[in-house]
Every structure is written in structure tokens, then in C-alpha cells.
Amino acid sequence: MTSKKSGVTISGAELAELQAAKLLLESPGLAAKISSFVGTPIEKGFALLPKQWNAVVTDVTRKAIETALKVALWTMRDGKANTANTSPSNWWHKLAAGASGAAGGVFGLAALSIELPVSTTIMLRSIADIARSEGEDLKTADAQLECVQVLALGGNAKSDDATEIGYFAARAAMAKAVSEAAAHLAAQGITQHGSPALVRLIAQIASRFSIVVSEKAAAQAVPLVGAIGGAVINTLFIDHFQDMARGHFIVRRLERLHGADEIKRLYIEL
């Protein structure tokens, strides 16, 4: 079909893909998914978290992203990761995340600082796999940081107001930081991971990702969750971000074909 407002030709199949992407990106958050699955409101878990939990989870989350970023930026460059037109290995990544969650579930919240970097790295590799399947060139700094940005799409930052919600609002809030970090990576490479541009980006992503990590930890704080519960929660955790990644990179692919402004307009109108 042809858009009457812009003259851009977009097929019915592509509109269906955009609709599917919107359903993924605007779907209920992790807390709702966990509560629905286990049949227990996640608020009960929040009441069991330590008083200083917010400060702890912010620090752990930032370090987890830094660790995952170092690993992912190196491994995204290998040939296999950039093989186009092959399906992502979502189930293998879910199994790996579930295993790390099972190990973390045995030891409870005390294991978060060890388990979270592992599960975040696995998740970022899964996100990169999905990005590659949607035509992203993972050898470029822009595509690599778009993968990292997906971690910020699953939760709103504490500073967001009622108008700063939704997929495009989250992208807009991080656009400058992503652009500056990508320019730095392209010029200096990944050895300069401590640069101000990357530090700012990681801080922005961590402020959003930590909301979801807190929800995950609250679920695991419930007594008797244990290894099986930890595995289930981690599987839901990675499944949530796989959905965010699939939606995000479908939108990115359609933007490359038809322009960002047109795809945003159609997304809003759907």
C-alpha cells in the first residue's frame, strides 16, 4: 500500500510486522509477566527487599552492563554473529539464562552481584543474535550500541514523567548518548570503554534497566523460590528482553527501508 501522507509505499506484510513489533514493545512489563506466571503479586517481594536495596541494585546493574558490554562488543565482531538470514538461537540463550538463574536462586539475593553479569551477558548476546537476524551489521558501533540500548527499553527511568513513556520516548531520551558513544567507539575502539561518552550511556541504560532488575530480584526474594523459581524468573527475564529486541529491530529494519519519520507515524497510528 502507499501512505497517502508521504507517498511512501509500504506493503501489507510490512504493516503487519510493524503491528507485531508494537504489540511486543508496548506489552506489559516484566513485573506483570512474573505476577501472571507465578500467581503472586510482585509487591510482596518488594516488601522483603533490604531498605538500601535501590542503591545496591543500581551499582550492581551498572557493573553488570559494563561487564556484558565488554564481552558483547568483542564477540559481536566474530563471523558467526554476523551471518545474515539465519534464525536467532532464542531457546539456547533461554536455557543458559535459566541455568544461571537456577544457580542464583539457590543463594538468593546474595548471589545477584555474581549472577546478574552472567545473565546480562547471555541476554545481550541473544539481543545481538536477534539484531543480526533482522539485518543489522554487528561490526558497526551503531548496531552494537543499539543492542545495548534494548536493555533500557524494558523499564522507565525514575526521572521519567507521565509523558515520557513508550518505545519512541525511550529511544528519544537516549538518542544523544547513543550517538556520542557510537562516535567514540567508531573512532577509538572498544579498548576505551571507560570514556565519558560510554559512561554516560551506561548510566542512562542502568537507570532504566535497574527498574526491571529490581522486579526480578523482588520475585526471587519471595521465600521458597529457590533454584527452580530462579530458573523460571530468569527465563521470563530474558524472554521479556528478547521480545523488546525483536520489536526494536523490526522497527529499525523498516526504518532503513522507508524512513524513520514515516515508520514512527505509522507506528503511532496503528
Q: What whole-number distance in Å separates Cα of residue 175 and Cα of residue 172?
A: 5
Cα 227 to the chain's mean position, in Å? 24
pLDDT of residue 107: 47
Count of CA atoms in the C-beta half-sphere (13 A) of 144: 26
Q: Using the 8-state DSSP alphabet, how is residue 108 labeled?
A: G
Is 197 within 8 Å of 183 (Cβ atoms)? yes
Residue-level pLDDT, tens digit, the chain, 270 residues: 555 555 668 899 999 999 999 999 988 888 888 777 766 677 777 777 777 777 888 888 898 898 888 776 666 665 444 455 556 655 554 555 445 544 444 445 666 777 788 888 888 888 888 999 999 998 888 888 999 999 999 765 555 543 345 899 999 999 999 999 888 877 776 654 568 888 889 999 999 998 888 888 777 776 655 545 667 777 888 888 889 999 999 999 999 999 999 999 999 998
* Each residue's pLDDT tens digit, 184-241: 877 776 654 568 888 889 999 999 998 888 888 777 776 655 545 667 777 888 888 8
pLDDT of residue 232: 77
Is 17 within 8 Å of 9 (Cβ atoms)? no
Look-up of cell digits 506493503: 11
Q: What whole-number distance in Å separates Cα of residue 119 and Cα of residue 205?
A: 16
Q: Using the 8-state DSSP alphabet, how is residue 246 labeled?
A: H
pLDDT of residue 162: 39
The model carries a pTM of 0.83
